[in-house]
Protein backbone atom coordinates (compact mmCIF):
# COMPACT_ATOMS: atom_id res chain seq x y z
CA UNK A 1 0.00 0.00 0.00
CA UNK A 2 1.51 3.32 -1.04
CA UNK A 3 0.86 5.89 1.68
CA UNK A 4 0.57 9.56 0.86
CA UNK A 5 2.80 12.02 2.65
CA UNK A 6 0.91 14.56 4.72
CA UNK A 7 0.25 17.95 3.19
CA UNK A 8 1.93 20.38 5.61
CA UNK A 9 -0.60 23.12 4.73
CA UNK A 10 -3.44 21.02 6.10
CA UNK A 11 -4.10 20.98 9.87
CA UNK A 12 -3.68 17.55 11.48
CA UNK A 13 -6.96 15.68 11.35
CA UNK A 14 -6.72 14.63 14.98
CA UNK A 15 -6.64 18.29 16.03
CA UNK A 16 -9.69 19.32 13.97
CA UNK A 17 -11.90 16.35 14.83
CA UNK A 18 -12.14 15.35 11.17
CA UNK A 19 -10.41 12.06 11.91
CA UNK A 20 -13.04 10.75 14.30
CA UNK A 21 -15.92 12.03 12.18
CA UNK A 22 -14.53 10.41 9.05
CA UNK A 23 -13.85 7.17 10.94
CA UNK A 24 -17.46 7.12 12.11
CA UNK A 25 -18.62 7.60 8.50
CA UNK A 26 -16.47 4.68 7.32
CA UNK A 27 -17.83 2.51 10.12
CA UNK A 28 -21.44 3.45 9.32
CA UNK A 29 -20.90 2.70 5.62
CA UNK A 30 -19.56 -0.73 6.56
CA UNK A 31 -22.58 -1.53 8.72
CA UNK A 32 -25.00 -0.36 6.03
CA UNK A 33 -23.29 -2.58 3.46
CA UNK A 34 -23.67 -5.81 5.43
CA UNK A 35 -27.05 -6.81 3.97
CA UNK A 36 -25.85 -6.60 0.37
CA UNK A 37 -22.18 -7.53 0.48
CA UNK A 38 -20.89 -11.13 0.20
CA UNK A 39 -20.13 -12.76 3.52
CA UNK A 40 -16.71 -14.03 2.41
CA UNK A 41 -13.70 -11.93 1.50
CA UNK A 42 -13.21 -11.00 -2.14
CA UNK A 43 -9.40 -10.79 -2.21
CA UNK A 44 -6.69 -13.44 -1.99
CA UNK A 45 -4.04 -13.36 0.68
CA UNK A 46 -1.44 -12.22 -1.87
CA UNK A 47 -3.71 -9.40 -2.98
CA UNK A 48 -4.21 -8.32 0.60
CA UNK A 49 -0.47 -8.37 1.27
CA UNK A 50 0.03 -6.19 -1.76
CA UNK A 51 -2.71 -3.75 -0.74
CA UNK A 52 -1.75 -3.53 2.93
CA UNK A 53 2.01 -3.94 2.63
CA UNK A 54 4.67 -2.03 0.79
CA UNK A 55 7.75 -0.17 1.96
CA UNK A 56 7.88 1.37 5.40
CA UNK A 57 6.87 5.06 5.10
CA UNK A 58 9.84 7.37 5.48
CA UNK A 59 7.88 10.47 6.50
CA UNK A 60 4.97 11.35 8.79
CA UNK A 61 1.50 10.81 7.35
CA UNK A 62 -1.73 12.65 8.09
CA UNK A 63 -3.81 10.45 10.45
CA UNK A 64 -6.86 10.91 8.24
CA UNK A 65 -4.93 9.61 5.24
CA UNK A 66 -3.79 6.62 7.29
CA UNK A 67 -7.37 5.70 8.25
CA UNK A 68 -8.76 6.17 4.75
CA UNK A 69 -5.95 4.20 3.13
CA UNK A 70 -6.35 1.42 5.69
CA UNK A 71 -10.10 1.20 5.14
CA UNK A 72 -9.70 1.17 1.37
CA UNK A 73 -6.96 -1.48 1.39
CA UNK A 74 -8.62 -3.75 3.95
CA UNK A 75 -12.16 -3.64 2.50
CA UNK A 76 -11.88 -6.68 0.15
CA UNK A 77 -10.42 -8.75 2.98
CA UNK A 78 -13.26 -8.12 5.42
CA UNK A 79 -15.64 -10.93 6.38
CA UNK A 80 -19.24 -9.93 7.07
CA UNK A 81 -19.36 -11.51 10.51
CA UNK A 82 -21.91 -8.98 11.90
CA UNK A 83 -24.30 -9.53 8.98
CA UNK A 84 -26.44 -12.28 10.49
CA UNK A 85 -25.51 -14.50 7.53
CA UNK A 86 -22.18 -15.70 8.86
CA UNK A 87 -22.11 -19.35 10.00
CA UNK A 88 -18.39 -20.15 9.79
CA UNK A 89 -17.60 -20.29 13.50
CA UNK A 90 -19.36 -19.58 16.77
CA UNK A 91 -18.39 -15.92 17.01
CA UNK A 92 -20.40 -13.28 18.84
CA UNK A 93 -21.21 -9.84 17.54
CA UNK A 94 -21.15 -6.38 19.04
CA UNK A 95 -24.33 -4.67 20.18
CA UNK A 96 -24.63 -1.03 19.04
CA UNK A 97 -24.21 0.44 22.52
CA UNK A 98 -21.25 -1.86 23.23
CA UNK A 99 -19.50 -0.87 19.99
CA UNK A 100 -20.02 2.85 20.65
CA UNK A 101 -18.88 2.47 24.26
CA UNK A 102 -15.77 0.66 23.01
CA UNK A 103 -14.98 3.70 20.86
CA UNK A 104 -15.28 5.95 23.91
CA UNK A 105 -13.10 3.59 25.91
CA UNK A 106 -10.36 3.87 23.29
CA UNK A 107 -10.65 7.66 23.12
CA UNK A 108 -10.63 8.09 26.88
CA UNK A 109 -7.51 5.87 27.02
CA UNK A 110 -7.80 5.02 30.72
CA UNK A 111 -5.79 2.40 32.61
CA UNK A 112 -7.94 0.57 35.19
CA UNK A 113 -5.01 -1.54 36.35
CA UNK A 114 -5.24 0.49 39.54
CA UNK A 115 -7.65 3.21 40.64
CA UNK A 116 -5.37 6.26 40.32
CA UNK A 117 -4.93 5.76 36.55
CA UNK A 118 -8.63 5.33 35.80
CA UNK A 119 -11.12 5.94 38.62
CA UNK A 120 -14.21 5.81 36.38
CA UNK A 121 -12.93 2.76 34.49
CA UNK A 122 -12.19 0.96 37.75
CA UNK A 123 -15.71 1.60 39.05
CA UNK A 124 -17.26 0.55 35.72
CA UNK A 125 -15.41 -2.76 35.99
CA UNK A 126 -16.63 -3.18 39.56
CA UNK A 127 -20.25 -2.45 38.62
CA UNK A 128 -20.33 -4.68 35.53
CA UNK A 129 -18.76 -7.54 37.47
CA UNK A 130 -21.49 -7.27 40.11
CA UNK A 131 -24.19 -7.14 37.41
CA UNK A 132 -22.81 -10.27 35.75
CA UNK A 133 -22.87 -12.01 39.10
CA UNK A 134 -26.54 -11.14 39.49
CA UNK A 135 -27.35 -12.36 35.98
CA UNK A 136 -25.61 -15.68 36.65
CA UNK A 137 -27.05 -16.08 40.13
CA UNK A 138 -23.65 -16.05 41.83
CA UNK A 139 -23.09 -15.13 45.51
CA UNK A 140 -22.41 -11.46 46.19
CA UNK A 141 -18.92 -12.28 47.47
CA UNK A 142 -17.93 -14.13 44.26
CA UNK A 143 -14.83 -12.70 42.60
CA UNK A 144 -14.59 -12.03 38.88
CA UNK A 145 -12.14 -11.10 36.16
CA UNK A 146 -12.54 -9.80 32.62
CA UNK A 147 -10.37 -11.68 30.14
CA UNK A 148 -9.39 -11.08 26.53
CA UNK A 149 -11.26 -14.01 25.03
CA UNK A 150 -12.16 -17.68 25.03
CA UNK A 151 -8.68 -19.12 25.56
CA UNK A 152 -7.83 -16.84 28.48
CA UNK A 153 -11.22 -17.67 30.02
CA UNK A 154 -10.35 -21.36 29.84
CA UNK A 155 -6.96 -20.68 31.39
CA UNK A 156 -8.41 -18.63 34.26
CA UNK A 157 -11.09 -21.24 35.00
CA UNK A 158 -8.65 -24.16 34.87
CA UNK A 159 -6.26 -22.38 37.23
CA UNK A 160 -9.09 -21.58 39.65
CA UNK A 161 -10.35 -25.17 39.49
CA UNK A 162 -6.84 -26.52 40.08
CA UNK A 163 -6.48 -24.33 43.18
CA UNK A 164 -9.90 -25.38 44.50
CA UNK A 165 -9.46 -29.13 43.96
CA UNK A 166 -5.98 -29.26 45.46
CA UNK A 167 -6.98 -27.03 48.38
CA UNK A 168 -9.85 -29.42 49.14
CA UNK A 169 -7.33 -32.24 49.74
CA UNK A 170 -4.90 -30.14 51.75
CA UNK A 171 -2.44 -29.06 49.06
CA UNK A 172 -1.64 -25.33 48.81
CA UNK A 173 -0.48 -25.02 45.20
CA UNK A 174 0.53 -21.36 45.62
CA UNK A 175 2.82 -22.30 48.50
CA UNK A 176 3.97 -25.80 47.50
CA UNK A 177 3.80 -25.68 43.70
CA UNK A 178 2.80 -28.61 41.50
CA UNK A 179 5.82 -30.90 41.97
CA UNK A 180 4.64 -33.83 44.06
CA UNK A 181 1.03 -32.66 44.12
CA UNK A 182 -1.85 -35.16 43.89
CA UNK A 183 -2.91 -36.06 40.33
CA UNK A 184 -5.91 -34.15 39.02
CA UNK A 185 -8.57 -35.58 36.75
CA UNK A 186 -9.81 -33.01 34.27
CA UNK A 187 -13.27 -33.92 33.04
CA UNK A 188 -14.04 -32.73 29.52
CA UNK A 189 -16.24 -33.80 26.63
CA UNK A 190 -15.01 -35.48 23.48
CA UNK A 191 -16.33 -32.46 21.53
CA UNK A 192 -14.63 -29.86 23.69
CA UNK A 193 -13.42 -26.60 22.16
CA UNK A 194 -10.06 -26.87 20.42
CA UNK A 195 -8.55 -24.25 22.75
CA UNK A 196 -9.12 -26.27 25.94
CA UNK A 197 -6.21 -28.72 25.63
CA UNK A 198 -3.40 -26.23 24.94
CA UNK A 199 -4.67 -23.94 27.71
CA UNK A 200 -4.79 -26.87 30.13
CA UNK A 201 -1.01 -27.22 29.86
CA UNK A 202 -0.35 -23.66 31.05
CA UNK A 203 -1.51 -24.14 34.68
CA UNK A 204 0.49 -27.38 34.86
CA UNK A 205 -1.80 -29.99 33.32
CA UNK A 206 0.20 -31.93 30.78
CA UNK A 207 -0.69 -33.84 27.65
CA UNK A 208 -3.60 -36.14 28.47
CA UNK A 209 -7.13 -35.26 29.45
CA UNK A 210 -9.97 -37.22 30.95
CA UNK A 211 -12.32 -37.15 27.98
CA UNK A 212 -14.81 -39.91 28.76
CA UNK A 213 -13.09 -42.32 26.36
CA UNK A 214 -9.52 -42.79 27.50
CA UNK A 215 -10.24 -41.97 31.18
CA UNK A 216 -6.58 -41.02 31.55
CA UNK A 217 -5.74 -38.83 34.56
CA UNK A 218 -3.61 -35.72 34.39
CA UNK A 219 -0.42 -35.64 36.39
CA UNK A 220 0.25 -31.98 37.26
CA UNK A 221 3.85 -32.84 38.18
CA UNK A 222 4.47 -34.39 34.74
CA UNK A 223 4.79 -37.94 36.02
CA UNK A 224 3.13 -41.04 34.54
CA UNK A 225 -0.51 -41.79 35.38
CA UNK A 226 -0.73 -43.53 38.73
CA UNK A 227 -1.81 -47.17 38.64
CA UNK A 228 -3.22 -46.91 42.14
CA UNK A 229 -4.37 -43.62 43.63
CA UNK A 230 -3.14 -42.50 47.03
CA UNK A 231 -5.52 -41.63 49.82
CA UNK A 232 -5.17 -37.98 48.86
CA UNK A 233 -5.92 -38.87 45.22
CA UNK A 234 -9.06 -40.73 46.28
CA UNK A 235 -10.17 -37.68 48.22
CA UNK A 236 -9.54 -35.48 45.18
CA UNK A 237 -11.55 -37.82 42.96
CA UNK A 238 -14.39 -37.87 45.46
CA UNK A 239 -14.38 -34.09 45.53
CA UNK A 240 -14.55 -33.90 41.73
CA UNK A 241 -17.04 -36.75 41.27
CA UNK A 242 -19.11 -37.19 44.43
CA UNK A 243 -20.94 -40.50 44.51
CA UNK A 244 -18.75 -42.04 41.76
Give the model's confidence band at 12: pLDDT under 50 very low, under 70 low, under 90 confident, else very high: low
Q: Are 17 and 92 within one domain? A: yes
Q: What is the pLDDT of residues 27-42, one digit of tens each?
A: 999 999 999 999 999 9
Could you give phi then psi for residue 187, rounded to 5 degrees?
Answer: -95, 120
Q: Are 141 and 155 within one domain? A: no
Q: What is the pLDDT of residues 41-79, one digit of tens each?
A: 999 999 999 999 999 989 999 999 999 999 999 999 999
Query: Considering only CA atoms, which of 213, 137, 226, 144 is closest in space to residue 183?
Result: 226
Number of folded domains that form the chain:
3
| Final residue belonging to a domain, choices 146, 166, 191 | 146
Q: Are 8 and 82 within one domain? A: yes
| Residue 119, pLDDT above cutoff 70 | yes
| Final residue belonging to a domain, choices 109, 136, 159 | 109
Q: Are 103 and 121 within one domain? A: no
Q: What's the whole-number mean pLDDT along residues 4-10?
A: 46
Q: Are 47 and 135 within one domain? A: no
Q: Are 121 and 209 within one domain? A: no
Q: What is the pLDDT of residues 211-243, one digit of tens each?
A: 444 434 444 444 444 433 444 444 444 444 444
Q: Are 77 and 57 within one domain? A: yes
Q: Are 33 and 129 within one domain? A: no
Q: Are 119 and 183 within one domain? A: no
Q: Are 171 and 220 within one domain? A: yes
| Final residue belonging to a domain, choices 118, 146, 174 | 146
Give the model's confidence band at 197: pLDDT under 50 very low, under 70 low, under 90 confident, else very high: confident
Q: Which domain holds residue 199?
A: 150-240
Q: Are 232 and 159 within one domain? A: yes
Q: Are 103 and 166 within one domain? A: no
Amino acid sequence: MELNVRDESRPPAAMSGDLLIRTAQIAADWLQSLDRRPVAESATVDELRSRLGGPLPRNPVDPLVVVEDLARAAEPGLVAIPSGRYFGFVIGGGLPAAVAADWLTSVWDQCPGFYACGPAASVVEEVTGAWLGQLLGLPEHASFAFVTGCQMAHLACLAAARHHVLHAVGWDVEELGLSGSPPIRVLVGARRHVSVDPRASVPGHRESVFDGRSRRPFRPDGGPPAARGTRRQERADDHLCPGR
